[in-house]
């Protein structure tokens, strides 16, 4: 053992030493910023090092997170594609007004009023006699109609909306109902509205599933982080005695959570690509069967970024909660 | 400076581990706390390091009243203290160098600067050649010296040691105690708890004797326990 002298390097002043004692100058503050940045870099490095020391555990965590993130993203991708397919159907919605109890003059007046409405592109007025004539022409044995006492078919005003979105068509239906209150209104656009309602319900269910899975992921990562910190309890106890703050102690766990989140996000994006490639052929064949030759696109880059961001956020939250519980214990 | 005024400590309603302790250790002083096992030596040091809180009384360390010290400032307070334990409390999953560097890691030292300081601390305790060794390959005396290097590497103003020679043979014990004398010579305030009365009597420094949680001075100036 060496003699201990005043000039020992051990007792020389150092800019980074003795954090938090008394007033600090600008130079010392700059030193603290450097120390803080170094501390973060060091925590990140140690955290990555720990992950590499247990590659099996790390890979399992990344895989679990990747699958859980990929599942709702894949469902969303399919729903989105279904919506695009529905949008690709060439459909001009028409609204039919059945005019049972209106005289010919009243029908003509109604047709004029409808034709003057703002969202009406065109109208076709078919009288009851015209309808019967058309029907008669279509029948193989028109003589059957001669047995009828009177014409059972109503007059029709067929309306072609200017804007064919479901909302605009629905609004026009309401206007028509007040314009010709005696008419029975039937729209052939109904099935698209039903499809949209199904899509909306699908999205809501997807949102709930995503929320539940996200919570599950956060809890898994929380448990992993808490368990990891408990394994380090001796180090934590000594560090606390030496003056480590909780922020310092949980920092490696937070970086660990972020690393797993990043890996999980990237893995989920890869899984999505695999899922799309596996489903592409049958989905495109099904679309073609409906006369919709629409290619199924791969997951776009923004979706990949959203998955990575989701992974990072979940990883951070899980690690934060886990470290909070473990350090409190 | 360390000052305790009428400090009493009970654990879970049992009899007092410490009873009505009045103690003063001036800045730059070195004092020894003696007494048999269970006398309250460790409790006294833990109270001073703010690892425990007193049931009654007031503790001042370097002008800071520990009772009014906010929880969030406790880590900062502990950075001004170096603690040495009888059982060394080394981390066996890292090297000697990494063990000693722990306080510097917490303080945010850059690796190069930390390494320099660690080497200096290990040099002081005569273990520079064991820098990269695993702690479990060291003898008990060497492990204790690693613990001491860790306690002094960040230049604490106050050094507290709890039975630092507890498991060591007489020759090694004297070496360890000489280290504390060396640190004290350069201005470090030190309070060392030990039951090795024979050894510390020979060092000619103030001794404070604890018996059944009560303090009495020996080889020290006054009965109130001033060193």
CA B35 to each of CA A30, A156, A262, B167, B200: distance values in angstroms, whole numbers, following the listed order: 47, 110, 56, 16, 12
Nearest-CA residue of chain B relative to A10? B120
CATH number of A95-188: 3.30.70.3040
Q: How far apart are CA A229 and CA A253, in angstroms?
A: 8
Work out the pLDDT band at B224, boundaries 50, 70, 90.
very low
Residue A91 pLDDT: 63
CB neighbour list of residue A254: distance below 8 Å, 6 or more residues apart: A316, A319, A320, A323
Check residue B211 and give its pLDDT: 85
| CA gap A64, A108 in Å, rounded | 68
**ipTM greater than cut 0.95:** no
Token duo for residue B41: 């030596």
How many percent of chain A have pLDDT more than 70? 88
C-alpha to C-alpha distance for A110 and B122, rounded to whole angstroms: 102
Q: 3-class DSSP state for residue A185?
A: strand
Please count the other Cβ atoms lying within 10 Å of the Cβ belonging to residue A293. 9
Strand partners, A285: none
What angle, 0 to 180 degrees and rounded to 10, lies between the N-to-C axes of helices A55-87 and A26-53?
90
When mean pLDDT is compared across A226-230, A324-328, B15-19, B81-85, the lowest value belongs to B15-19
8 Å CB contact of A1 and B153: no
Look up tokens 């130079």; give the residue.
A27
Query: What's the pLDDT score for residue A269?
Result: 96
Chain A partners of B103 at a C-beta cutoff of 8 Å? 242-243
Tell me the torsion sign for CA atoms B33, B205, B63, B3: positive
d(CA B146, CA B164): 11
Q: Do B105 and A36 touch (CB under 8 A)?
A: no
Query: Does residue B224 or residue B45 have the better pLDDT?
Result: B45
Tell whether the model's pLDDT for residue B83 goes beyond 90. yes
Separation in Å, CA of B157 to nearest CA in chain A: 10
Interface contact A18-B79, CB threshold 8 A = yes
**Residue B205, pLDDT score:** 85
**3-state DSSP call for residue A184?**
strand
How far off is chain B from A299, nearest CA to CA, in Å? Answer: 43
In terms of phi and psi (left: phi > 0; alpha: psi -120 to 50; beta: otherwise), the region of B151 is alpha
Check B110 against A38: CB less than 8 A apart: yes
| pLDDT exceeds 90 at position A296 | no
* pLDDT (0 to 100) of residue A3: 45
Residues of B in contact with A4 (CB under 8 A): 124, 179, 182-183, 185-186
Q: Which residues of B touch A14 (CB under 8 A)?
A: 109, 113, 117, 155
Inter-chain contact B186–A6, Cβ cutoff 8 Å? yes
Asked if residue A88 has pLDDT above 90, the reply is no
Q: Kindly report, residue by residue over A118-174, the tens digit of the pLDDT.
A: 989 999 999 988 988 888 888 888 888 888 888 888 999 999 998 877 788 888 999
Residue B225 has pLDDT above 60, yes or no: no
Q: How far is A25 from chain B (nearest CA, A)?
A: 17
Q: Which residue has the tokens 């469902």?
A: A75
Sequence-distant (≥ 6) Cβ neighbours of residue B115 within 8 angstroms: B97, B101
Looking at every residue in chain A, the average pLDDT score rounds to 83
How do the domains of chain A map onto residue ranges?
47-88+194-328, 95-188
């Amino acid at each position: 053992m060496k003699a201990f002298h005043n000039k020992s390097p051990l007792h020389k002043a150092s800019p980074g030493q003795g954090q938090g004692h008394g007033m600090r100058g600008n130079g010392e503050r700059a030193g603290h910023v450097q120390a803080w940045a170094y501390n973060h870099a060091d925590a990140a490095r140690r955290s990555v090092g720990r992950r590499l020391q247990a590659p099996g555990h790390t890979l399992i965590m990344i895989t679990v997170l990747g699958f859980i993130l990929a599942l709702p993203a894949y469902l969303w991708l399919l729903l989105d594609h279904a919506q695009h397919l529905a949008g690709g159907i060439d459909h001009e919605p028409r609204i039919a007004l059945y005019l049972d109890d209106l005289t010919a003059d009243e029908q003509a007046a109604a047709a004029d009023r409808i034709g003057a409405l703002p969202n009406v592109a065109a109208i076709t007025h078919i009288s009851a006699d015209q309808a019967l004539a058309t029907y008669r022409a279509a029948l193989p044995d028109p003589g059957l109609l001669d047995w009828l006492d009177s014409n059972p078919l109503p007059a029709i005003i067929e309306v072609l909306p200017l804007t064919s979105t479901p909302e605009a068509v629905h609004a026009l239906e309401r206007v028509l109902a007040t314009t010709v209150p005696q008419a029975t209104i039937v729209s052939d656009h109904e099935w698209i509205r039903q499809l949209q309602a199904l899509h909306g319900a699908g999205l809501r269910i997807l949102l709930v599933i995503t929320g539940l899975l996200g919570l599950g992921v956060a809890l898994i990562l929380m448990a992993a982080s808490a368990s990891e910190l408990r394994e380090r309890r001796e180090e934590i106890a000594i560090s606390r005695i030496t003056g480590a703050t909780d922020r310092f102690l949980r920092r490696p766990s937070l970086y660990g959570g972020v690393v797993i989140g990043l890996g999980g996000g990237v893995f989920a994006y890869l899984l999505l690509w695999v899922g799309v490639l596996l489903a592409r052929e049958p989905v495109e064949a099904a679309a073609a069967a409906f006369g919709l030759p629409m290619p199924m696109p791969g997951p776009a880059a923004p979706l990949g970024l959203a998955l990575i961001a989701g992974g990072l956020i979940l990883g951070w939250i899980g690690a934060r909660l886990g470290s909070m519980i473990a350090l409190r214990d | 400076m360390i000052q305790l005024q009428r400090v009493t400590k009970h654990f879970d309603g049992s009899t007092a581990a410490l009873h009505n302790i009045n103690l003063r250790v001036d800045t730059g002083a070195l004092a020894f706390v003696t007494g048999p096992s269970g006398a309250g030596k460790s409790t006294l040091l833990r109270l001073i390091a703010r690892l425990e809180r007193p049931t009654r009384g007031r503790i001042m360390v370097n002008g800071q009243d520990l009772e009014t010290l906010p929880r969030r400032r406790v880590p900062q307070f502990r950075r001004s203290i170096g603690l040495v334990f009888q059982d060394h409390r080394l981390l066996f999953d890292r090297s000697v160098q990494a063990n000693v560097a722990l306080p510097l890691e917490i303080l945010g030292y850059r690796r190069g600067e930390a390494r320099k300081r660690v080497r200096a601390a290990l040099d002081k305790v005569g273990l520079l050649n064991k820098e990269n060794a695993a702690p479990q390959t060291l003898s008990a005396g060497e492990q204790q010296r690693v613990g001491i290097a860790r306690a002094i590497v960040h230049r604490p103003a106050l050094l507290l040691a709890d039975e630092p020679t507890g498991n060591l043979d007489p020759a090694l014990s004297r070496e360890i105690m000489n280290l504390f004398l060396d640190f004290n010579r350069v201005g470090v305030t030190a309070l060392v708890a030990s039951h090795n009365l024979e050894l510390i009597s020979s060092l000619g420094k103030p001794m404070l004797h604890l018996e059944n949680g009560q303090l009495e001075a020996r080889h020290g100036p006054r009965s109130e326990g001033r060193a």
